[in-house]
Structure 1
Amino acid sequence: MTVSPLIWGITIVVILALLAFDYFFHIRKAHVPTLKEAAVWSSIYVGIAILFGILVLIYGGGAMGSEYFAGYITEKALSVDNLFVFLIIIASFRVPREDQQKVLLFGIVFSLIARTGFIFLGAALINSFAWVFYAFGLILLITAGNLLKPEKDGDEADNFIIRLARRFFHTSDHYDGDKLFTMENGKKVMTPMLLVMVAIGGTDILFALDSIPAIFGLTQNVYIVFTATAFSLMGLRQLYFLIDGLLDRLIYLSYGLAAILAFIGVKLIIHALHENNLPFVNGGEPVPVVEISIGLSLTVIIGVLVITVIASLMSKAGKAQTAINNARRHAVNYMDLEYTADSAERERIYRALVAEERQIEQMEPKYRNKAKDVDKIREQVREAHRQHEEYLSR
């Protein structure tokens, strides 16, 4: 199905309108979203994405609709995985809780811009060079292998761009609300808010290098690639606050994503063989292979994600890891005087810390003692309690 310029224009206007609405009605005034607010708006954005998919199914046909839903589910899963990295970046830059929404919206907008560029670049390459399918397939197989590697310790959100910025420009160690620049000792300097946005933007580009080949493995329809990617990013900000603290629970998510990316990588290479024109492969002639249907692709993607989530939620090790990591995060945030100016928010964090401690005490020792740096975490929790007692005695 060929999508007319009018439909393209309407789609882009709707997406821009949703982003504008998100900014002016939710983010312009700094605040910490409640669980109810995050849940309601996450559901609304998912509902909009599903409604759009139904319209594609009705007007574009079953194949086009299936491609959209397969692409949307894959990109949404990859976006959830990206939230792990956002969480680390935001925590390491100590972004005030009430200003985190603005950082996340910037990340979403930058992701959309970067991925749109990669989409049209990828489409141009595919239309001109059939061998690009080999390259995309290889990228996904390498990415799948990297997801299976043990994660490196540490939570520093640092990269080459950040180091350059700190070396050649005047930067401040302190936030000034949500301002990108502030005055310090009579000089205009960059605040950490600008640096964290640079860090988020840099990681978004890396994420695009993985996600765009993945969705091109499911469909080469540029309109479907664009809309599935855009709608998967919508509501990501609300989802962050909805599942903040539960991300660690999905301990098998990386394995599920690795399986999905490997599957799509193989699908791409099979398709490349089917369209082959490389002279050193089968004499430049297409290789007779059986291609994987979009229906099978959708079934595999949904099946792997369901198994991954259920296995993670039922795992006792996952429950222990979630509680311990949450306790550490709450303790560190409580001790950070710059974390938030809202006393009610600090009290909420302390209550959450106490609740996690109760949960940890009910666990079997073999699970709660298995965490990395468990002695350091216990020390951080004790210090948070000491500071809270000191605060109450004032």
Structure 2
Amino acid sequence: MVHELPVTFEVISLGAMLVLLIADLLIVGRRPHVPSMKESAIWVSFYVGLAVIFGGIVWGVGGITPAAEFYAGWLMEYSLSVDNLFVFVIIMARFAVPRDQQQRVLMIGIIMALIFRAAFILAGAALIEQFTWLFYIFGAFLIYTAIQQAIPETPEEHDDYKENVLIRQMRKVLPLHHQYDGAKLRTTVDGRRLFTPLIIVFLAIGSTDVLFAVDSIPAIFGITRDPFIVFATNLFALMGLRQLYFLLGGLLDRLVYLPYALSAILGFIGIKLILEALHTNSIPWINGGHGFHWAPEIPIWLSLTVIVVSLVVGTVASLIKSAHDERIEAAKEPEPSEESSK
């Protein structure tokens, strides 16, 4: 069931989000730099606080149901976006992006991702409105993705970035130079106008996030069918992603159990989608086109609880294991001998 918010509220909210994005882009474009941990923490706190406040406003305008849908969707999208960071780190290393240009790369890539996701959301909402049986496909896909997410990667797979078809084709078509030229997309070398590697990095970040959207968009539709809330959750999750990249940095490798937490969330949402498809079934050759009334409808509070508990358990377990591994490594280090201490 879609709990519609006032159109005026949606228009004003989207306008405010657009202004915030433009302001953020102008700030990054005017002063490219490597943000400190303190600066990153302040910005992450700002965007997280903004999302919490926005959810409260949604509550005041539309009631507890759309607010709960927003909070559950935002938490899920934000947690899934952390998974994106692993790939972003690899892409930045693979293309040797200068540190002072990484903010700009991430910002442009995120804006590209928002445009692509908006198209996916509009198309998905229109299709679901007409063909509710798509929840069977979405649910099965999310369960499959959850299983794949739970399979541990080898160190080689974890550190490897394979260029997708788009990137490989662009390399063949575009006249590329192998060196960066500050923030420029094009540079002049021996009288020839060539693209710098930044153009490929932009495409890599944007297209990679589109692939992640293939998982996250069906998952968010398992929480709410309201296109506005779906887009708002994606926007708030992505807006804080750039600062989170610099805040977490090398700490990402310590979140060893995060993939399992995300797997649990995707699996749960997949089951939720299939149960909803069974409950509202309209496929003629399944139960004569009638819904299965025994199929339970999972309430939004339960979805929110599963998401929060999965993230907390995964994060805490990861930090405990990392601390334990560090103690073991410290114990293995040989103590300095008396000869070397003299």
TM-score computed with the length of structure 2 as normaliser: 0.91
Given that residues 175 and 195 in structure 2 are in contact (C-alpha distance below 8 angstroms), is that contact kept between their aligned partners in structure 1?
yes
- 1:173-184 aligned at under 5 Å gives the runs 173-184=178-189
How many residue pairs end up in the alignment?
Answer: 327
For 2:330, the aligned partner's letter is Q
- Cα deviation 1:335-361 (Å, max 9, x = unaligned): xxxxxxxxxxxxxxxxxxxxxxxx996
**Structure 1 residue 160 displacement after superposition:** 1.5
Question: Is 1:315 equivalent to 2:289 in the alignment?
Answer: no
- Cα deviation 1:103-131 (Å, max 9, x = unaligned): 11012111211111111111101110011
Q: Which residue of 2 aligns with 1:291?
A: 297
Instruction: Pick one of 79, 91, 94 that aligns with 1:92.
Output: 94
Change in 2 beyond 3 A, CA 1:226/1:169: closer
For 1:49, the aligned partner's letter is A
| Larger RCO: 1 or 2 (CA < 8 Å, sep 6+) | 2
Q: Which residue of 1 aligns with 2:283?
A: 278
List runs of 5+ in structure 1 lacking aligned partners.
321-358, 366-394
Question: Is 1:199 equivalent to 2:204 in the alignment?
Answer: yes
- Cα deviation 1:248-306 (Å, max 9, x = unaligned): 11000000100100000000000000010112211111011111111111111101110
Instruction: Pick one of 65, 68, 72 that aligns with 2:67.
Output: 65
Question: What is the alpha-carbon distance in structure 2 between the residues aligned to residue 298 and residue 223 of structure 1?
Answer: 19
Pairwise CA RMSD of aligned residues?
Answer: 1.7
List runs of 5+ in structure 2 lacking aligned partners.
334-342
Given that residues 313 and 319 in structure 1 are in contact (C-alpha distance below 8 angstroms), is that contact kept between their aligned partners in structure 2?
no
**Structure 1 residue 317 displacement after superposition:** 7.4
- 1:366-385 aligned at under 5 Å gives the runs none
Counterpart secondary structure, 1:188? strand
Question: What is the alpha-carbon distance in structure 2 between the residues aligned to residue 239 and residue 171 of structure 1?
Answer: 31
Given that residues 92 and 157 in structure 1 are in contact (C-alpha distance below 8 angstroms), is that contact kept between their aligned partners in structure 2?
no
Question: What is the alpha-carbon distance in structure 1 between the residues aligned to residue 324 and residue 17 of structure 2?
Answer: 36
Q: Which residue of 2 aligns with 1:348?
A: none
Q: Which residue of 1 aligns with 2:136?
A: 134
- Cα deviation 1:100-158 (Å, max 9, x = unaligned): 00011012111211111111111101110011111111121111111122325243352
Question: Is 1:34 equivalent to 2:39 in the alignment?
Answer: no
Q: Which residue of 1 aligns with 2:337?
A: none
Given that residues 80 and 262 in structure 2 are in contact (C-alpha distance below 8 angstroms), is that contact kept between their aligned partners in structure 1?
yes
Identity of aligned residues (%): 49
Moved over 6 A (4+): none
**Structure 1 residue 13 displacement after superposition:** 1.4
Q: Which residue of 1 aligns with 2:116?
A: 114
Change in 2 beyond 3 A, CA 1:171/1:319: farther
Question: Is 1:189 equivalent to 2:223 in the alignment?
Answer: no
Q: Which residue of 2 aligns with 1:249?
A: 254
Question: What is the alpha-carbon distance in structure 2 between the residues aligned to residue 110 and residue 138 of structure 1?
Answer: 28
Counterpart secondary structure, 2:187? strand
Change in 2 beyond 3 A, CA 1:169/1:222: closer
Q: Which residue of 2 aligns with 1:233?
A: 238
Q: Which residue of 1 aligns with 2:330?
A: 362
For 1:362, the aligned partner's letter is A
Instruction: Pick one of 207, 217, 223 that aligns with 2:222.
Output: 217
